[in-house]
Amino acid sequence: MSQHPCPVALTRAPWRARAACAPWALALATFASAAVAQNVVPAQFQGTWVASKATCESPDRVLIAADRLTLVSGKDSQALGGIEMAGPGYFPPDYRGSMAVLITEFSGQQLVIVTFNVGEKKGVAQIGFAPVMPGKATAQLTAYNSHISKLALAKRFPLDKAMLRKCATK
């Protein structure tokens, strides 16, 4: 049986043993940072987004931060977390374009999805809200539809399926 190149008690290991573990530690750190990065919205997509024909002073807007998306319509707002940037598996295997996808409440109801660089046009995004789903009323579907209906995102925020543009930062 072969022994792992990195002994558990690294603090007592001679410097050569610690040096042998460096590639393992680097690989682990790289993997961990890549996993965390999927939960952070890239800086190029962060900021204020409005309907493509609206001014940046529009009362209806989407505010995107590193870890949160906030829908705003006048004085009404709804912040959503659980951000996940969709991985390469979201697109066909041979896709090499610039589109990116943000999903809110990734491990929950996935209430809002924003696609950036729609049609490979930089600075253009499209937002979509999760709809109430028809079908046989299972416990899971009933809970989902109840949550979607209670939030009423499409009624409160007139941006569902809207094409968006990013406002310049001040």
Question: Is the distance from CB of 69 to CB of 164 less than 8 angstroms?
Answer: no
- Predicted local distance difference test score (pLDDT) of residue 170: 66
What was the pLDDT predicted at 65? 97
pTM given for the model: 0.75
Which amino acid would we find at residue 159?
L
Least confident of 31-40, 48-57, 144-153: 31-40
DSSP-assigned beta bridge partners for residue 85: 102
Residue 130's H or E segment, with its range, is none
Give the three-class secondary structure for 127: strand
Ordered by start, the domain boundaries in the chain are 1-37, 43-166
